[in-house]
Amino acid sequence: MKNTKDGFTLIELLVVISIISLMSSVVLTALQDARGRSRDAKRIETLIQVQRALELYYHDNNQYPSYTYAYSTLGSQCGAGSRWCSLETALSPYLSKLPRGESGITWYYDTNSGDGYTSYGLMTQFESTSYNQKESSDGGYASYTAWYEVGAQPQYCNAKGRNWLANSAFVCNGSN
């Protein structure tokens, strides 16, 4: 008489559990990247809205808001001696709120008296590696390849081999 038992061996159960764990980790990784891409797409839209607000401000005032080296911080705080909040106030007729440092992502804005506040730079980072090409081909300063830069300052200063994000009166760090 044969003694048979229905069921799975411990080895079979461990193999199935390992396969399920591996598949779960692949799915979760893909989901996390998709969420990052989604937040990045929203960042691009926000960046476009801020650019529009800056252009409307320029149209009404013949210069961009005169805040050098303004940046956002995490949460609802402003940062850089509240220049980010001051920039938000200046743009309030055109934009209800500037972005904050959500998900650990910082935003920077700069304009300088060296050119009469007639150019600006604005930059942020992306979470997903899907935007690496966009970051590296934005025309901005080489050391900020992890940043996406827009505005005339980044391209102008990059052509001179200088950093545009400078807490000074000069358009490019190291003079115009």
* pTM for this predicted structure: 0.73
pLDDT average, residue stretch 10-14: 88
Provide the pLDDT for residue 58.
96
Q: Quick one: pLDDT at residue 49?
A: 94
| Secondary structure class of 66 (helix, strand, coil) | coil
Pairing mode, if any, of strands 147-150 and 121-125?
Answer: antiparallel
Helix (H) or strand (E) holding 84: helix 83-91
**pLDDT tens digits, residue range 18-71?**
999 998 888 887 777 788 888 888 888 998 999 999 999 999 999 999 887 777
Domain boundaries, the chain: 12-159
